[in-house]
Amino acid sequence: MTKSTKSVSQLPGTNRRSDRREFLERSMLATAAALAAQSQWSSSALAQDSTGPISPNEQIHVAVIGANGRGQSHVDGFAGKKGTIVTHICDCDEKVGQQVCEKTAEKQNGKKPTFVKDLRALLEDKTINAVSIATPNHWHSLAAIWAVQAGKDVYVEKPVSHNVLEGRRLVQVARKHNRMVQTGTQSRSNPGMRESMEFIHSGGIGEVTVARGLCYKRRPSIGPKGTYEVPKSVDYDLWSGPAPILPLTRKNFHYDWHWQWAYGNGDLGNQGIHQMDLCRWALNESRLCDRTFSLGGRLGYEDAGETANTQLVIHDYGQKQLAFEVRGLPTGDYKGAMVGIIVEGSKGYLVMTSYSSGTVFNLDGEVVKTFNGGGDGHHYKNFEDAVRARDYKLLNADCEEGHYSSALCHLGNISLQLGTSVRKEDVAAKLADIEGPSKVGFAWDRTVAHLKENTIEDFSVSVGPALPLDSKSETFVNNEKANQMLSREYRKNYELPSEANL
């Protein structure tokens, strides 16, 4: 164990509190040691604390944590490549983990990864250089922080956090231990996206004052709220991690947690985080905003979900605004985009309709220029390059970028959750009193028309307060209730480390 890494027994989930705890801890360490001893990968582990560049001849050993859906794209990104190999699969659903081990072996000439159920045991394994995290959102920051403390580089899915404070903590730990932490906002590495942003930033569409993000993505009901059984192959304590252990109220165990606040962040933090990130990038703002506002609700059906399927958010940056729309009910496009962004400038506007394709229009609506080109491989490769060079500034989506954009999603959701229920007829009058929305020509009228097309005419939405923020301290101004929502209660043994204990 080198100076800058922490052993599993030092990680927060493994405090010595009782005989039972000690027993579990010892078994886990024994498991970790046995795994490492058995491991077919032990011979060529990289020097994890090296601060110098890593030779191109050395293959980076990657463990994928959370393998059900997106985790398999991570496998594709790292398996059997010249510079990377997937040596371990970690999932608290043993069935998922074992299946993905088999599939991964097929992708890397029979080299089957080792399966590990508990990420704490995994992190103890010194043969692993980097972890790639695709668990549910409530685990992202904590798993990434533990991994950094154990000396690993990290690729972590978006949003990097489930709340604002833990995102900042992740940035702090990455800097303290000089680890590479890449956010899974892969658009940032696509040539088409990078050229579009360069065009905007070099004044191609004139002065930019508004960036609109659209997340128009069909999200049907997830089925009635009920009492369902956790699949037998799942260790539910591990799955719940820092979140409370709650009865399972949704039919589908995997994925649908996105729509329950204890684990997910709604579509704002699911699909929307990609477009939120692009909007902030287009505005060239590396900070939280000066004020946030949101309204919305879960309309059209009642189910086990809690998050909004219809939501508007405004992040106010003084002279610039970031305006965001979520539509989960059937809808047409806006200016050609469904899941995309529209950046409005004094000389024209740019519409991104995917993670890599952009079209520039002049003020008369004529096409001036197009951008194209991308693929997830660019982003994984960018991570590998930064790991080799030991330089986080090479990362196209360093965790600090991920933190800001993830936090913008959380801020919108905080305003929404603090809102009061307002009848459709009374919303416009309420909006007129709020400076941010009126500045950008808010999308409320279009939202009402969209809901009407879905035969939703008699409804109320939650209209949040406009919340001023101090973006330096990343706290709300004089609002204790809102400030409490910048973090969460962490379950025992899964606490967020304090800044002093990173």
Ligand X SMILES: NC(=O)c1ccc[n+]([C@@H]2O[C@H](COP(=O)([O-])OP(=O)(O)OC[C@H]3O[C@@H](n4cnc5c(N)ncnc54)[C@H](O)[C@@H]3O)[C@@H](O)[C@H]2O)c1
The site map against ligand X for 345-384 (x = CB under 6 A) is: ----------------------------------------
Cβ 245 to ligand X shortest distance, Å: 13
Cβ 483 to ligand X shortest distance, Å: 25
Q: Does 157 bind ligand X (CB under 6 A)?
A: yes
Of the candidate residues 63, 86, 90, 339, the single one contacting ligand X (CB under 6 A): 90
CA Rg value for the chain: 23
- Binding segment toward ligand X, per CB under 6 A, in 133-141, 165-173, 197-205, 210-218: 133-141
Cβ-in-10-Å burial (0-12, 13-18, 19+) of 455 comes to exposed
Local structure of residue 157 (DSSP, 8 states): P
The rounded distance, in Å, linking the Cα atoms of 205 and 12 is 50
The site map against ligand X for 223-262 (x = CB under 6 A) is: ---------------xx-x------------xx-------
Q: Does 292 bind ligand X (CB under 6 A)?
A: no
Cβ 480 to ligand X shortest distance, Å: 30
Segments in 70-190 forming alpha helices (H): 70-78, 94-107, 119-124, 140-149, 164-176
Of the candidate residues 71, 77, 213, 328, the single one contacting ligand X (CB under 6 A): 71
- Binding segment toward ligand X, per CB under 6 A, in 101-109, 131-139, 422-430, 451-459: 131-139
Displacement of CA 24 from its chain's centroid (Å):
31
Q: Which of 70, 118, 69, 65 is nearest to 87 (CA)?
A: 65
Q: Does 186 bind ligand X (CB under 6 A)?
A: yes
| Nearer of residues 66 and 328 to ligand X, judged by Cβ | 66
| Nearer of residues 31 and 321 to ligand X, judged by Cβ | 31
The rounded distance, in Å, linking the Cα atoms of 324 and 320 is 13
The SS3 assignment for 490 reads coil
The rounded distance, in Å, linking the Cα atoms of 193 and 375 is 11
Q: Does 139 bind ligand X (CB under 6 A)?
A: yes
The SS3 assignment for 66 reads coil
Q: Does 137 bind ligand X (CB under 6 A)?
A: yes
| Nearer of residues 253 and 476 to ligand X, judged by Cβ | 253
First to last CA, the chain: 17
Q: Does 68 bind ligand X (CB under 6 A)?
A: yes
Question: Are residues 133 and 147 in contact, defined by beta-carbon separation less than 8 angstroms?
Answer: yes
Of the candidate residues 46, 62, 67, 326, the single one contacting ligand X (CB under 6 A): 67
The amino acid at 391: D
The rounded distance, in Å, linking the Cα atoms of 363 and 409 is 30
Q: Does 70 bind ligand X (CB under 6 A)?
A: yes
Question: Are residues 252 and 229 in contact, defined by beta-carbon separation less than 8 angstroms?
Answer: no
Cβ 201 to ligand X shortest distance, Å: 24
Question: Are residues 343 and 349 in contact, defined by beta-carbon separation less than 8 angstroms?
Answer: yes
Of the candidate residues 45, 54, 85, 96, the single one contacting ligand X (CB under 6 A): 96
The rounded distance, in Å, linking the Cα atoms of 61 and 48 is 11
Of the candidate residues 59, 75, 84, 91, the single one contacting ligand X (CB under 6 A): 91
CA atoms within 13 A on the CB side of 390: 14
| Nearer of residues 442 and 494 to ligand X, judged by Cβ | 494
Residues interacting with ligand X, by CB under 6 A?
65-71, 90-93, 96, 119, 134-137, 139, 157-158, 184, 186, 238-239, 241, 254-255, 270
